[in-house]
Amino acid sequence: MRLIIHPDHERASRWTARYIADKINSHGRDKHFVLGLPTGSSPLGIYREFIRMNGEKKLSFANVRTFNMDEYIGLSADHPQSYRYFMMENLFNHVDIDPKHIHILDGMAKDTEKECRLYEEAIAAEGGIELFLGGMGSDGHIAFNEPGSSLNSRTRIKTLTSETKAANARFFGGDPSKVPSAALTVGVGTVMSAREVVIIVSGRGKARALKAVVEDGVNHMWTLSCLQMHPKAVIVCDEDATEELKVGTVRYFKDIEKDAIESGV
Ligand code: GLP
C-alpha cells in the first residue's frame, strides 16, 4: 500500500485528480475505462479538478464508464441528499460523460437483492473496475461497509451505524434521525476486485482510522484495512490526517514517495 502525504487537502485533491486523469488519458481510445466513484466531502476537490480539466479539454469522460459505491435506501434520484443527485450536481452534469455510462445503485428498488446482484453483473460485464476511487468514514469504513463487514462482501444492503448517521447528519439539516438507516453498497470484496484502489483522506477526524488502516493489522472493524491485501492501493492524505501515525511511519512514506509528491502539483 502506498501512502502519499500532502501538506493540505487541496494539494492532495489536485494530485489525485491528475493521477487519475493520467490513467484515463493513457488508457487508449479503443477500450473504455471503468471508474468506481464515491460521494461525501472528501472527493469534492477532485471532482472540481475533473470539471476544470474537462473544460480545458485535458480530460475526457467520453470513454469512461462509472460505478458509484453506494446509495441510501428510500431516497429517490431527485432527492437532494441522494447520492445520484450528489453525483449529477458535483460531477456528471459538468463533464462530457454519456448518461448511459453512469451506474448508481437504485435506493428505491423494490427487490434490493436483485438490484445488488444486477449491479455486480453490470460491473463484470464491463470487464471489472479499473480504478476505484474512495473516501473513508471516521470509523475506517469504505463505501458503507461498516465495522464488522465481511472483508469478502459483495454488493448488498447494510444498516448504518450511529457514528455514520451522526457524521452524515450535516447533509440532513444536522439531524441524524433524518439520515436513512440503511444503504445499498458495494462490498469490501467488490472494491478489492478493482485493479487499483485510490483513497482520499483528510482532516484530524480521520486520523484515528488512518492509523488503524495503515499501522495495525487487517481487521474487519476497520474495513479499509483490507487495502493491506490489495496489490495496487494508494491512500492520498493531508498532514492533519496523519496526526495519529507514528513519526517514523510519516517519515518513511514521505521519503519513499518524495518523487511522486514533487512531480505532482
Ligand atoms: C459515507 C460514504 C463513504 C464516504 C464517507 C466519508 O459513509 N458512504 O463513501 O467515504 O461517508 O465521507 P466524507 O468524505 O464526507 O468524510
Is ligand 1 within 6 A of the CB of residue 69?
yes
Is ligand 1 within 6 A of the CB of residue 40?
yes
pLDDT in tens, 181-211: 999 999 999 999 999 999 999 999 999 999 9
Residue identified by cell 432527492 is 79
Q: Residue 77 burial (CB < 10 Å; 0-12/13-18/19+)?
A: middle
* Alpha carbons 49 and 21: distance in angstroms, whole number: 10
In this structure, are residues 237 and 13 in contact, taking their beta carbons and an 8 Å threshold? no
Q: Is 139 considered catalytic here?
A: yes
Is ligand 1 within 6 A of the CB of residue 245?
no
For 208: left if phi > 0, alpha if psi spans -120 to 50, otherwise beta; the answer is alpha
Q: How far is the CA of 28 from the centre of ligand 1 (A)?
A: 31
Point out the catalytic residue in the list 6, 9, 101, 141.
Answer: 141
Sign of CA dihedral 15, 21, 23, 25: negative
Is ligand 1 within 6 A of the CB of residue 61?
no
Percentage of residues in the chain having pLDDT higher than 90 = 95
Q: Is 70 considered catalytic here?
A: yes
pLDDT in tens, 75-127: 999 999 999 999 999 999 999 999 999 999 999 999 999 999 999 999 999 99
Helices assigned H by DSSP within 155-246: 162-168, 188-192, 207-215
- Section 244-265 average pLDDT: 91
How far, in whole angstroms, is CA 11 from its chain's centroid?
17
Query: Distances in Å between the alpha carbon of 18 and those of 53, 74, 185, 261?
Result: 9, 35, 27, 12
- pLDDT at residue number 264: 65
Point out the catalytic residue in the list 6, 9, 70, 196.
Answer: 70
What is the position in ligand 1's atom list of the atom closest to the CA of 41? 15
Q: How far is the CA of 13 from the centre of ligand 1 (A)?
A: 15
